Structure 1
Amino acid sequence: MKRRSFLATAGIGAAASALAAPALAQGVRQWRMVSAWPRNLPGPGIAAQMLADRITALSGGRIQVELFAAGEIVPGPGVFDAVAEGTAELYHAVPAYWGSKSRGILLFGSQPFGLTAIEQHGWMLHGGGQALYDEMYGRFGLKPFLCGNSGPQWAGWFRNEINSLDDLRGLKYRTTGLNSEVCSRLGMAVEAMPGPAMFQALQSGALDAGEFIGPWSDSALGLQQVAKNYYWPGVGEPSSAEECAVNLDAFSALEDDLKEAVTYACESLYNPVLTEYNTKHAMALRELVNEHGVTVRELPQEVVAAMAGAMDEVVAGLREDSDELVRRITESYLEYRDLMAGYMPYSEGGQLNARAAVHEG
């Protein structure tokens, strides 16, 4: 999708007329979903609409979900509080945005050098993650679900080449979540602006570099127009889970079958969203390289090693956090990460290495 056409559609509905209060008539609930994304943003904006439609369908129309994009009711960064306070019934965003609420929340979204998308879902479903997720968000009056994943993210767009660790010091860089802590420890000047604000910031020099998601979503924002060096691997976010959180009172008031409908709507979208990202990222990367002059570059190994060391320090801090729940979340995550780290080199890693050898040959 071209930047101009995406931006033209992203503003549709921003000046919405006065909103009716949630209604419960003839057994039909009118729910408002607020999202952290512009409307129809390739990747998360599209996924948010898919979720709204799926909840409506699986509930047999007894829950009518209307999506409001970032800024149409509240700004993107305000969706967590809006749903917690009952201004809307549910939101679509990512856990990486809520570190100010609790650092423990960040582990449910992405972890530098952490879980892949499939492993993240496995931790939730089979490693005790969902119970901890529920406990943490319950503090804020929310019922959370993972409902998608962007897969491996990229290190991002850089105006200048990175040849050494020294090149990162003082670099103005946009990122989120625990990766912000890692990058700060390397002397980078981290900015937490919304992803769609990156274009102007890179263009004006307010940013030297930044990461958002990956080729599909990034190219829709036009980032290739203002920075030509696209760096991998995105070790700061080996995956990035998308979430839906429902106001806990609204969820508790549902009949049991409707609770199941909401739960399954979220869970059933995780893999379709992930596989769409992977497919569209691959297609977009070809176009970025072949048609837009983007140069794909690998981060120097000394940078990756330094980031790994910084993440070890971050994890040590999480394990000693003053909040007992944060410590339990951290230990559960580490236990599952280590379990997968002992297995995946033989399974996924082995297959990818074997395929790469054939492909290169």
Structure 2
Amino acid sequence: MDRRSFLKTSAMGGAAAAASGLAAPAIAQGNRTLTMVTSVPDGFAVFDDAAQLAIDYITAMTDGQLSFNKMSAGSLVGAFEVFDAVSAGQADVYHSAEYYFLNQHPGFAFFTSVPFGMTTQEHDNWYYRRGGQELHDELSGLFNLKPLMVGQTAMQPGGWFNKEITSAEDLQGLRFRMPGQGGQVLGRLGVSVQNIPGGEIYQALASGAIDGAEWIGPYADERLGFQEITNIYYTSGFHEPGSALHMVFNIDVWESLTPTQQTICKVATEAAHAQNTALSLAENGAALARLQSQGVVARQFPDDVWDAFGRASAEVREESMGDPMYAKIAESYFASMAESSAWFEIGDGEYMRQRNRVNAG
């Protein structure tokens, strides 16, 4: 029995059990409603904005032939159980960050973000123009899934801490919320890593269950109210220099759509992705200014901490290179990053340096 047949006929643990009451897509008078499960509560800035905009676009562009019943984290399945529910065919589509599912395959990290990896534009270049989408399709197909990129948090800050980090030794024993490969890196540096869903971070930080956390960026972090708990905010992080989100269909549901509906979904998610990227980048500066007016201090990690992050990141990447699929994705990812970076450095980078110098004069 192949992987896809197995997934279609097997229970997927607690997630499938929790989702077993879900109905098949509702179809009436040519209209169809798909069940979408997500990894955050409704209304979460940037993250849920991307999901809502995509389904609004698809519904409008199909004139209501396709619509969605969006079920937020915990309302049907848990935040980290959406992958299993859709893979097993118990829900139709999920919206989430792919690095939540490294237990399924470590290669999923690249489709969200990896430490010292691609910036927002570099990631879009790879995904749309240098084979990233095709590799994502190949990996996801093993799990009965079809992904579309929709959502981009842009560079994520180092996070909120209950104490200042003056050296790498200060990380020892720290209880810190960070998912993905970034969390694996911190674990190598002595951090007690907590992989807490977004909807639970504030309470964990406020109660003292954790000593710090990273989320998305000033705009989204302000909305969650982290500034009410601590004013120590590291505004540049190593872990997610540009983090993509995805809308992922059960592949049988995807293949049941008409070619026109599939094209609309692709175009709508690309449009929503562009809007969401602009939202992230446009709002963070103003949000940081508001946070600073409330006493938040923007800090940067010292060089020795960055060096420790770099060494541990290389170790984490290397430990999965024995997996052929992981190695294939990594080779494509870093080749595209080098290509994009080389141009940005001599093009945009030099222009920005000169612009800042001239404007300062």
Judge conservation of contact 1:33–1:65 (CA < 8 Å) in 2. Answer: yes
1:116 counterpart = 2:124? no
- Deviation for aligned residue 1:359: 5.8
1:239 to 242, 245, 251: 242
Judge conservation of contact 2:49–2:276 (CA < 8 Å) in 1. Answer: no
Over the matched positions of the two proteins, sequence identity in percent amounts to: 36
- Deviation for aligned residue 1:77: 1.1
Q: Distance in 1 between matches of 2:137 and 2:74?
A: 27
Q: In structure 1, what is the equivalent of residue 200 of structure 2? A: 197
Judge conservation of contact 2:172–2:191 (CA < 8 Å) in 1. Answer: yes
Count of residues in correspondence between the two structures: 341
Q: Distance in 2 between matches of 1:314 and 1:41?
A: 30
TM-score, structure 1 normalization: 0.91
Q: In structure 2, what is the equivalent of residue 337 of structure 1? A: 337
Alignment root-mean-square deviation, CA: 1.6
Judge conservation of contact 1:110–1:239 (CA < 8 Å) in 2. Answer: yes
Q: Deviations 1:112-145 (Å, cap 9, x if unpaired)? A: 1111111111111111111110010111111001
Q: Deviations 1:342-361 (Å, cap 9, x if unpaired)? A: 22212232233334445655
Q: In structure 1, what is the equivalent of residue 226 of structure 2? A: 223
Q: In structure 2, what is the equivalent of residue 316 of structure 1? A: 318
- Deviation for aligned residue 1:337: 1.6
Could you say if the C-alpha distance between residues 277 and 342 of structure 1 is closer, same or farther in structure 2, counting changes exceeding 3 Å?
same
Q: Identify unmatched segments of 5+ residues in structure 2.
A: 1-20
1:182 to 181, 185, 200: 185
Could you say if the C-alpha distance between residues 209 and 352 of structure 1 is closer, same or farther in structure 2, counting changes exceeding 3 Å?
farther
Q: Distance in 1 between matches of 2:191 and 2:332?
A: 30
Q: In structure 1, what is the equivalent of residue 298 of structure 2? A: 296
Q: Deviations 1:43-70 (Å, cap 9, x if unpaired)? A: 1122211111111112222111221111
- Deviation for aligned residue 1:72: 1.8
Could you say if the C-alpha distance between residues 41 and 143 of structure 1 is closer, same or farther in structure 2, counting changes exceeding 3 Å?
same
Q: Distance in 2 between matches of 1:133 and 1:260?
A: 18
1:45 to 21, 34, 48: 48
2:175 to 172, 175, 188: 172
Judge conservation of contact 1:52–1:66 (CA < 8 Å) in 2. Answer: no
1:264 counterpart = 2:267? yes
- Deviation for aligned residue 1:270: 1.5
Amino acid at match of 1:104: G
Judge conservation of contact 2:46–2:151 (CA < 8 Å) in 1. Answer: no
Judge conservation of contact 1:33–1:91 (CA < 8 Å) in 2. Answer: yes
Could you say if the C-alpha distance between residues 78 and 333 of structure 1 is closer, same or farther in structure 2, counting changes exceeding 3 Å?
same
Q: Which stretch shifts more, 333-342 or 29-38?
A: 333-342
- Deviation for aligned residue 1:22: 2.1
Q: Which stretch shifts more, 198-207 or 255-264?
A: 198-207
1:142 counterpart = 2:145? yes
Q: Which secondary structure state, in structure 1, belongs to the residue aligned with residue 280 of structure 2?
A: helix
Q: In structure 2, what is the equivalent of residue 325 of structure 1? A: 325
Q: In structure 2, what is the equivalent of residue 61 of structure 1? A: 64
Could you say if the C-alpha distance between residues 359 and 92 of structure 1 is closer, same or farther in structure 2, counting changes exceeding 3 Å?
farther
Q: Distance in 1 between matches of 2:352 and 2:197?
A: 33
Alignment of 1:2-13 (within 5 A): none
- Deviation for aligned residue 1:26: 2.2
TM-score, structure 2 normalization: 0.91
Q: Distance in 2 between matches of 1:136 and 1:76?
A: 21
Q: Which secondary structure state, in structure 2, belongs to the residue aligned with residue 196 of structure 1?
A: helix
- Deviation for aligned residue 1:85: 1.7
Stretches (4+) displaced over 6 A: none
Q: Deviations 1:173-227 (Å, cap 9, x if unpaired)? A: 1111110111112111111011232222222221111101101111111111111
Q: In structure 1, what is the equivalent of residue 7 of structure 2? A: none
Judge conservation of contact 1:147–1:241 (CA < 8 Å) in 2. Answer: yes
Alignment of 1:5-24 (within 5 A): 21-24=24-27
Amino acid at match of 1:27: G
Q: Distance in 2 between matches of 1:294 and 1:358?
A: 31
Amino acid at match of 1:346: I
Q: Identify unmatched segments of 5+ residues in structure 1.
A: 1-17
Q: Which stretch shifts more, 304-313 or 246-255?
A: 304-313
- Deviation for aligned residue 1:238: 0.3
